[in-house]
A = this chain, B = another copy of it.
Amino acid sequence: MSKKTFGPQPLLFPMPAVLVGVTIEGKANFMTAAWCGITAYKPPSLMIGIHKERYTLQGIKPNGAFSVNVASVEQVKMVDYCGIYSGTKKDKSRVFKIFHGTLKEAPLIEECPVNLECQVKHIVDMESHIVVLGKIMETHVSESCLAEGKADTKKIDPLIFSFPDGQYWRMGEPIGRAFQLGKEK
């Protein structure tokens, strides 16, 4: 098998397409992010990479709070809308039904199946982007996306983003269970 080299490229598969919520001058604002991942399990934490010129940073730094809203396939147009237009140009505070949990400055999107309230723990400069590491303080899941009382991946129907083709995808079929398939080797 031969390989082709491309120089440094951010080629990770799959990527999420989440909506990051902040409060700026008393108003909710939402930004689409694919540079995002869980960082730790205990306590649960995550990171988002935010371009230094993004309006969202004006909400994250002073408040120390933000939300990460997992989008489902159903929300694809709104996700893309929030990725195209900056909060400096469009008022995104009325695009979604908003609710609040424990962190008053982390607006949550009712339409999104999963909502994470996050408190900023560390900020790391990675040149083009600021990496925000946040502790997950509370998790909300839509009742319609539960099965036997737990978050159900299939019902959540999460939106997937791929780079560099700039495509949104839906999830396919389950293949098997983790911590089992490897024992059959």
Contact = CB atoms under 8 A, between A and B. Distances in A.
Interface of A: 1-16, 18, 34-47, 49, 51, 68, 70, 73, 76-85, 97, 99, 101, 110-111, 114-116, 121-122, 124, 126-129, 131, 133, 135-144, 146, 149-153, 156, 158-185
A16 B161 CA distance: 12
Given A4-B140, A49-B37, A172-B171, A10 B114 contact: no
Given A4-B146, A169-B175, A139 B39 contact: no
Contacts of A46: 10, 12
Given A5-B138, A12-B38, 12 more contacts: A4-B146, A6-B151, A9-B139, A10-B136, A45-B129, A77-B182, A78-B182, A122-B124, A124-B124, A168-B178, A169-B172, A170-B173
A106 B175 CA distance: 29
B37 A37 contact: yes
Contacts of A97: 1
Nearest to A161: B178
13 contacts: A5-B139, A8-B135, A8-B136, A10-B45, A11-B116, A13-B70, A35-B41, A37-B38, A80-B179, A150-B164, A153-B169, A160-B171, A168-B178
Contacts of A49: 37-41
B73 A175 contact: yes
B44 A47 contact: no
A43 B175 CA distance: 34
Contact of A68 (B12, B70, B73): B12
